[in-house]
Amino acid sequence: MSIQRYNLSKRHDDLMQLAKKGIRENIAMALKEDLGGQINVNNDITANLLPKDKNAYAHIITHETGIFCGKDWVEAIFDQLNQSVNLVWHIKDGQKMIPEQLLVEIEGSARTIVTSERTILNFIQLLSGVSTKVNYYVALLNNTNAKLLDTRKTLPGLRTALKYAVICGGGNNHRIGLSDAFLIKENHIIAIGSIQKAVKSASLAFPDYPIEVEVETIEELIQAINAGVDIVMLDNFNLKLISEAVKINKGRVILEVSGNINESLITNIARTGIDYISVGDITKNIRAIDISMRLKLK
């Protein structure tokens, strides 16, 4: 069956490579935003009030429980600002944080450290917020076979960073963008003529790419299964219809549920026997984790 084209492990590996490549761009964009369009610490007019040759020590702590994420982004900030700044880490991505825990110690140019503060906190507060929320949702799926997926509902420019944070929280990635997998939706089907025609066209165009079809009815589910797709996304199905879809499918294709899923529904959905549950909320509605930096002059 074509279902072998869909592989979460490969998707994870692809995302990791893209995230690593994207870190420098993420940081450059953020630093230029703060420093008048150039990556130059001298453009921080407030930091210039400090003596140029003064060194400082700083530490970053968390004030609440969560899952940490963002180490490589912090290191990339100093790679671009001042490589002589030293970092001593006390946590790894994906590890649990507890209130008042020391995350990292920083030593070097006082000017560089104060210039970097907000960029550092923006990234690790956001990414840790995603990882923490994902971890909470994953816990709701305990004792079921369902896996949590993210979506493309991400902040522009931070797609791979947020999807990396999903992995750190114990979740999995849906397609990274529009170029790595097919997701044939209602408007595609209307324009092409039928589910069968759309799937056939996709198979001929890119035979090694996974094909997913979004369906809104049981009848469309049956059409998609018969067309030989890899995955069927059940869009806004209620619990009764999800259970019926699982019985009809009999494991022939991967079944995914999407649409208006929240923490009060997700456990019952998982218990239907569904394979994947995609939730936009985990990368779209994020509360930053309370993390702060404190500095001491040397």
Q: Which residues are catalytic?
A: 118, 153, 185, 214, 235
Dihedral in degrees, nearest 10, Cα atoms 81, 14, 197, 227: -150
Cα distance between residue 278 and residue 267, in whole Å? 13
- Whole-angstrom CA distances from 113 to 93, 107, 119 are 22, 8, 10
* Residue 279 CB neighbours (<10 A): 27
Cα distance between residue 139 and residue 132, in whole Å? 11
Lateral strand order in the sheet of 254-258: 147-149, 276-278, 254-258, 231-235, 211-215, 182-184
Burial of 187: CB neighbours in 10 Å, binned 0-12, 13-18, 19+: exposed
Q: Map residue 273 onto helix, strand or coil.
A: coil
Nearest-CA neighbor of 170 among 206, 198, 146?
A: 146
Cα distance between residue 240 and residue 54, in whole Å? 66
